[in-house]
């Protein structure tokens, strides 16, 4: 029996903690209350091949197509194959997915499950719970299971506790995590060292790098920077997904609303995603396509949001199928049963993160990453809707099981510097995608302090301008040079400055457009760049990284400020 420290309490952290605690003592630390992450905010649902007209092969094909040639086919196949079993495991843990009426026998799945359609899925395969409260219901069931595990004495849960450093021993293995209370006491930062045989990073995404995001305040990319600081390879950081439909003023309006038939209108009230020159799937084209089309339309109409028209769905469907969004929209002062509502794109999901395999192993011995913090290669250059809860569940489960079997498995090999051209011409994504370690000197240490103090909120504005939906080398180069001289001035900046540096380096290095990474100066996809680019720190030091001004006057960004009410600069 060993001691495993899990950092983060979304679906990925909770599942891996529950699985590992069958054998080991587990300490789970989480920087706010247990349910503060993205998981509890998930609306649309969780995708899996469980219906009669679907199969893991079809799910794999859709996922690879969305990934724009960069998804790892083996990883995708594994997720698609194991998905159904994991959904039944969720049911055993207390999740009740919505069911369809018994007269809708052609649409019902196992246990009578109902299903929703989201963009770029060739069949409806998204299970939901509580209408559009899927994440909240999953998080609640897992938190209840965690409570039961706590009573066994094997599980210790510490809320409002921030992981600030991963510590490695002289044998290179991870041996501890430094944590600090998230709520200031007397001003001074007091860290505590938790010894560990293995550490699982499950800190979620990094949407707060951007001024406008769907993500909760805790999504500041901590895990990527903690892992990077400890020497783990990061990968695919240039790929950030922007969700097309965020209510102007803040709050997601799920893609499932478009899946049920809602359409997008320009300021003149006309559909703009149909007809010649547009993806034939219209409003249900892949997210990157729809988000860019919205941005182009907004530019044409002086920055004003476009409109989502859900009036055809009818009051009952809107209220019963989408109760959370119904409340959100009404509280913002709109009656979406009668009028279209203003929406804009915002940063939503990080395809990149700490490089892992499908069991969450990173390149550092004893260090795991699961959920949105990890990057298994499933999502490639663009994630298929509702695949992230599934991937987090599958990988979190496998990581917990691997640890239960062997608390000290070998790490993932660090990718080589080789730049072989092998197998890079299959854009259909059927063959393996090479992962190559980058040699670029600019990112040799993204944690190095410069001379100019920079605040976290400033970085969010700059990232929105330079690393957003549409990018170009000049703007990103300016940002990279500015950040090279930056010194984090507050706790948020201690996370976001290195994250922005790495993202800018990765986005500059990819001189093509692919999936969510769209460059105006390289608008075409280049088959010769069909590889994943990894970065690793050469010097591993400064374990005190995130204690930097932990309790300085950083205020978590407020949800209300997530998206502007009138105009948005894309
Ligand atoms: P999270 O659930 O974000 O949990 C991260 C945890 O880490 C939190 O507990 C946080 O407090 C903690 N943490 C962070 N930093 C630290 C630190 N330094 N120390 C300690 N703890 C820390 N995906 C789908 O598949 N279907 C959907 O319908 C869907 N809808 C979405 C809707 C919204 C509004 C958003 C934002 C995302 C949605 N996604 C959806 C994406 C999906 O919800 C996330 O990718 C997924 O929940 C991530 O799970 P996770 O366990 O990796 O991280
Ligand atoms: C949504 O409901 O539109 C979000 C789904 C996702 O991010 O997968």
Full domain range(s) for residue 328: 244-345
CATH code of the domain covering residue 337:
3.90.700.10
Does residue 29 have a pLDDT over 90?
Answer: yes
Q: Does the beta carbon of 43 lie inside 6 Å of ligand 2?
A: yes
> Is residue 559 pLDDT above 60, yes or no?
no
**Is residue 458 located within the same domain as residue 548?**
yes
The pLDDT of residue 551 is: 38
What pLDDT, on a 0 to 100 scale, did the predictor assign at position 430? 58
User: What does the pLDDT read at residue 421?
Assistant: 47
Tell me which residue has tokens 């009952």: 316
Q: Which ligand is nearest to the CA of 127?
A: 1
- If asked whether residues 563 and 417 sit together in one domain, one would say yes
Q: Which of 160-164, 175-179, 432-436, 538-542 has the lowest mean pLDDT?
A: 538-542
Pocket lining: 328 vs ligand 1, CB cutoff 6 Å: no
pLDDT tens-digit readout, 270-303: 999 988 888 889 999 989 999 999 999 999 999 9
pLDDT band at 560 (very low <50, low <70, confident <90, very high): very low
- Of 345, 362, 380, which residue constitutes the final position of a domain? 345
Is 78 inside any structural domain?
no
Query: Tell me, what's the pLDDT at 282?
Result: 93
Q: How large is the average pLDDT for residues 468-479?
A: 97
CA–CA gap between residue 448 and residue 425 (Å, rounded) = 37
Mean pLDDT, the chain, whole residue set: 90
Q: Find out whether the beta carbon of 322 lies less than 6 Å from any atom of ligand 1.
A: no
Q: Is 441 among the domain residues?
A: yes
For residue 228, name the pLDDT band (cuts at 50, 70, 90): very high
Judged by phi (left if over 0) then psi (alpha if -120 to 50, else beta), residue 222 lies in alpha
Task: Examine residue 503 and state whether it is found in any structural domain, yes or no.
Answer: yes
Q: Is residue 554 part of a domain?
A: yes
Ligand 1 proximity of 213 Cβ (cutoff 6 Å): no
Q: In CATH, what number is assigned to the domain containing residue 548?
A: 1.20.58.100
pLDDT tens digits, one per residue of 108-125: 778 889 999 998 899 999
Helix axes 387-405, 134-151, angle to 10 degrees: 20
Listed in sequence order, the residues at least 6 apart from 339 whose beta carbon sits closer than 8 Å to its beta carbon are: 311
Query: Are 441 and 559 part of one and the same domain?
Result: yes
Is 538 inside any structural domain?
yes
Q: What is the DSSP letter of 343?
A: E
- 549 with 430, same domain: the answer is yes
Count of C-beta atoms within a 10 Å radius of residue 517: 24
370 domain-assigned = no
Q: Are residues 417 and 509 in the same domain?
A: yes
Can you tell me whether residue 4 is helix, strand or coil?
Answer: strand
Strands (E), 89-151: 126-127
pLDDT for 418 beyond 70:
no
- Contact (CB, 8 A) for 207 and 214: yes
Residue 279 inside a domain? The answer is yes
Q: Which atom number of ligand 2 is nearest to the Cα of residue 349?
A: 7
Percent of the chain with pLDDT over 70: 89
What are the distances in angstroms from CA 436 to CA 67, 397, 466, 539? Answer: 18, 27, 25, 19
In the predicted structure, residue 542 carries a pLDDT above the cut 50: no
Residues 329 and 440 in one domain: no
Better-predicted residue by pLDDT, 439 or 28: 28
Could you tell me if the CB of 382 is within 6 A of ligand 2? no
How many whole angstroms from 349 Cα to the centroid of ligand 1? 9
- Asked whether residue 103 carries a pLDDT value surpassing 90, the answer given is no
Mean pLDDT value of segment 355-375:
98
Between 554 and 489, name the one with better pLDDT: 489
For residue 443, being part of any structural domain is answered with yes
**Which of these three, 324, 345, 366, is where a domain ends?**
345
User: In this predicted structure, what is the pLDDT of residue 438?
Assistant: 84
287 is a catalytic site residue: yes
Q: Do residues 337 and 463 share a domain?
A: no
Domain end marker among 345, 369, 386: 345
Mutation probe of ligand 1 site: the residue of 43, 44, 135 with most atoms within 8 A of C-beta = 135
Total domain count for the chain?
2
Which range, of 79-83, 200-204, 277-281, averages the lowest pLDDT?
277-281
Ligand closest to 38 (CA) is 1
Do residues 273 and 416 both lie within one domain? no
Nearest C-alpha neighbor of 459 from the set 473, 480, 444: 480
Residues 429 and 542 in one domain: yes
**What's the pLDDT band for 182 if we cut at 50, 70, 90?**
confident
**In this predicted structure, what is the pLDDT of residue 187?**
59
Q: Which residue has the tokens 């499933």?
A: 378
Catalytic residue among 125, 211, 287, 501: 287
């Amino acid at each position: 029996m060993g001691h495993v420290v899990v950092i983060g309490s979304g679906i990925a952290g909770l599942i891996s903690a529950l699985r590992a605690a069958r054998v080991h003592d587990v300490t789970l630390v989480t920087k706010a209350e247990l349910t503060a992450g993205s998981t509890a905010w998930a609306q649309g649902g969780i995708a899996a091949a469980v219906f009669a007209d679907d199969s893991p092969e079809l799910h794999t094909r859709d996922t690879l197509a969305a990934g724009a040639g960069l998804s790892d086919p083996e990883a995708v196949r594994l997720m698609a194959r194991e998905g159904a079993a994991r959904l039944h495991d969720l049911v055993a843990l207390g999740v009740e997915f919505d069911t369809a009426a018994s007269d809708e026998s052609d649409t019902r799945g196992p246990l009578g499950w109902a299903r929703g359609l989201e963009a770029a899925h060739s069949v409806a395969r998204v299970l939901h719970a509580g209408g559009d409260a899927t994440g909240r219901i999953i998080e609640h069931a897992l938190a209840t299971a965690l409570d039961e595990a706590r009573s066994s004495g094997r599980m210790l849960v510490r809320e409002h506790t921030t992981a600030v450093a991963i510590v490695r021993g002289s044998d290179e293995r991870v041996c501890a995590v430094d944590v600090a209370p998230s709520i200031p006491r007397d001003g001074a930062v007091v860290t505590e060292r938790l010894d560990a045989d293995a550490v699982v990073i499950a800190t979620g995404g990094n949407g707060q790098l951007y001024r406008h995001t769907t993500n909760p305040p805790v999504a500041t990319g901590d895990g990527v920077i903690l892992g990077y600081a400890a020497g783990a390879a990061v990968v695919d950081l240039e790929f950030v997904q922007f969700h097309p439909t965020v209510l102007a003023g803040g709050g997601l309006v799920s893609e499932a609303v478009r899946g049920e038939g809602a359409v997008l209108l320009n300021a003149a009230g006309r559909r703009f995603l149909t007809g010649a020159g547009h993806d034939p799937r219209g409003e249900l084209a892949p997210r990157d396509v729809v988000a860019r089309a919205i941005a182009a339309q907004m530019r044409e109409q002086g920055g004003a949001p476009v409109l989502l028209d859900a009036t055809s769905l009818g009051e009952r469907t809107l209220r019963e199928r989408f109760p959370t969004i119904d409340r959100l929209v009404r509280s913002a002062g709109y009656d979406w049963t009668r009028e279209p509502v203003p929406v804009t794109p915002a940063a939503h999901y990080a395809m990149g993160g700490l490089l892992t395999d499908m069991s969450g192993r990173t390149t550092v011995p004893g260090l795991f990453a699961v959920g949105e913090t990890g990057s298994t290669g499933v999502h490639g250059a663009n994630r298929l809707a509702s695949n992230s809860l599934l991937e987090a569940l599958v990988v979190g489960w496998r990581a917990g099981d691997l640890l239960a079997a062997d608390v000290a498995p070998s790490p993932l090999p660090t990718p080589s510097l080789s730049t072989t051209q092998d197998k890079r011409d299959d854009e259909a994504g059927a063959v393996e995608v090479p992962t190559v370690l980058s040699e670029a000197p600019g990112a040799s240490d993204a944690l190095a302090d410069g001379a100019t103090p920079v605040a976290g909120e400033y970085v969010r504005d700059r990232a929105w301008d330079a690393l957003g939906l549409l990018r170009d080398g000049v703007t990103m180069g300016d940002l990279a040079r500015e950040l090279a001289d930056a010194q984090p001035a507050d706790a948020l900046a201690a996370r976001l400055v290195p994250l922005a540096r790495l993202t800018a380096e990765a986005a500059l290095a990819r001189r093509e457009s692919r999936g969510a990474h769209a460059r105006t100066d390289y608008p075409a996809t280049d088959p010769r760049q069909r590889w994943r680019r990894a970065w690793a720190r050469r010097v591993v030091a400064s374990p005190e990284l995130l204690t930097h001004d932990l309790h300085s006057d950083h205020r978590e960004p407020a949800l209300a400020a997530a998206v502007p009410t009138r105009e948005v600069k894309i």
